[in-house]
Chain A
Amino acid sequence: MSLFSKENGEVFTSPLNLNNPITVQVLGICSALAVTSQLKPAIVMGLSVTVITAFANVIISLLRKTIPNRIRIIVQLVVVAALVTIVSNVLKAYVYDVSVQLSVYVGLIITNCILMGRLEAFAMQNGPWESFLDGIGNGLGYAIVLVIVGFVREILGFGSLMGFQIIPDSAYVENGGLYINNGMMTMPAMALIIVACVIWAHRAYNKDIA
């Protein structure tokens, strides 16, 4: 089977759309609520999860024939925890300001259900290359939703994007305009409602999702 066969293409693209981890499998919701009040942490979180899912998938896939069945979940957890610790250390050493901004979120990647879900459901049965594609695909599928939610919440909640003010200052009530930032958008509850809207739109568009 060639590296870029049709099957492998599907492994990569299906989590982006028809099998999206958040909108279809409804995994990883907790972190989608926690880190999306602004766009930048949402993007960094999406990328970190993509990298960690991909590498954890590859490692577990390489080890899959040796892992004792009874402790496989523990082995998966150890691999994920080790990777997360390494990523968090690297961030602290080379992009200190980003790591300060993400604070506990990086550590919380360990608890992201997508990772364990993909390891258990895919990497334990498939080869390293397919597992790598699957990890990248699922990570990006997660990242897309995070970015959409982060985009909506930051522009409505803060009037800015990536920290740059988008809605002009003169439009605000305190400066004589008519606009007020929606404080609700900075609360996690609104993320849940936006995720629900994304799921609704996604399903209305793809009628064949069960």
Chain B
Amino acid sequence: MAKLNTNGNAYTIIYASVMVIIVAFLLAFVASALKPTQDANVEKDKKSQILAALNIRDIEDVEGKYAEVIKKDAIYGADITNGAKAETGGFAVENKNITPDNRPLYIAEVNGETKIVVPVKGAGLWGGLWGYIAVNSDGETIFGTYFSHESETAGLGARIGEQWFQDSFKGKKIFAEGSEDIALSVVKKGKEGTLSPDNYVDGVTGATLTSDGVNNMIKDCLGMYKDILKINK
């Protein structure tokens, strides 16, 4: 075989084009072949996060437990006088698509008691924060929480993802006595001011901006669900 001139323009262009086409097909194939498994993982992860907010952690059979505990994943519109906009489909709503007119809400039953799970989303120091807050049927007492983050500092802000922080919300009240504003806060130790001990948890030491992010996320997102929570109050 004659030796190819690997420095010619035509050869270079053809080489690049063929390579790009092969790689494109390969990547497209891998991505679409693995997509169902990846989607199932993402879905399972979301379910285990919702269960974690209900204090059901470290279980093997996430799918089974989710189906058993979560009774409804409704979607509420801006106007709730006629109840939910849709009784199912809330699970499919991605966090970024949550708006005042498109509010997913999970109704769960744990040990015979009804719990409401509210999804929350916000911003930390370096990236997004999200989580789920489970509220008792009185519409104001926190039953459990789960928070996660995209890229908070390991050992500092990232500790909002640890159970001790999430557990510190248990039993706290969303509203202050006789007020309709969201009172539940994350504050620096010693900076709680006039807040009642029922209404705040201590922030993570050394992670003020991430703690503020959690605080704002709670205020914004619970604020968005205030009308639904108040029906139950």
Interface of A is mostly: helix
- A89 CB contact (under 8 Å) in B7, B30, B154, B206: B30
Are A93 and B151 within 8 A (Cβ)?
Answer: no
A157 to B159: give the CA distance in the assembly, Å: 14
A195 to B20: give the CA distance in the assembly, Å: 38
What's the tally of chain A residues with a CB closer than 8 Å to chain B?
Answer: 28
A70 to B11: give the CA distance in the assembly, Å: 11
A37-B155, A86-B27 are contacts. A71–B12 as well, Cβ < 8 Å? yes
- B34 CB contact (under 8 Å) in A38, A67, A89, A100: A89
A71-B12, A71-B16, A82-B26 are contacts. A92–B41 as well, Cβ < 8 Å? yes
Is the C-beta of A69 less than 8 angstroms from some C-beta in chain B? yes
Are A82 and B34 within 8 A (Cβ)?
Answer: no
Measured between beta carbons, the chain A residues less than 8 angstroms from B37 are 93-94
Are B155 and A70 within 8 A (Cβ)?
Answer: no
Q: Which residue of A lies closest to B7 (CB)?
A: A69
A68-B7, A68-B11 are contacts. A103–B38 as well, Cβ < 8 Å? no
Are A93 and B12 within 8 A (Cβ)?
Answer: no
Measured between beta carbons, the chain A residues less than 8 angstroms from B27 are 82, 85-86
| Mask: chain A, 71-103; 1 = CB below 8 Å from B; 0 = not | 100110010001001100110111010001001
A70 to B30: give the CA distance in the assembly, Å: 29
- A92 CB contact (under 8 Å) in B19, B38, B155: B38
Q: Which residue of B lies closest to A95 (CB)?
A: B41
A68-B7, A70-B7, A71-B16 are contacts. A186–B154 as well, Cβ < 8 Å? yes
A60 CB to nearest chain B CB (Å):
12
Is the C-beta of A175 less than 8 angstroms from some C-beta in chain B? no
Interface residues of A in 53-76 (CB under 8 A from B): 65-71, 74-75
Measured between beta carbons, the chain A residues less than 8 angstroms from B177 are none
A37-B155, A183-B155 are contacts. A68–B15 as well, Cβ < 8 Å? yes
A6 CB to nearest chain B CB (Å):
33
Q: Which residue of B lies closest to A38 (CB)?
A: B154
- B19 CB contact (under 8 Å) in A75, A85, A186: A75
Other A-B pairs beyond A96-B38, A183-B206, 4, CB < 8 Å: A68-B7, A78-B23, A86-B26, A89-B34
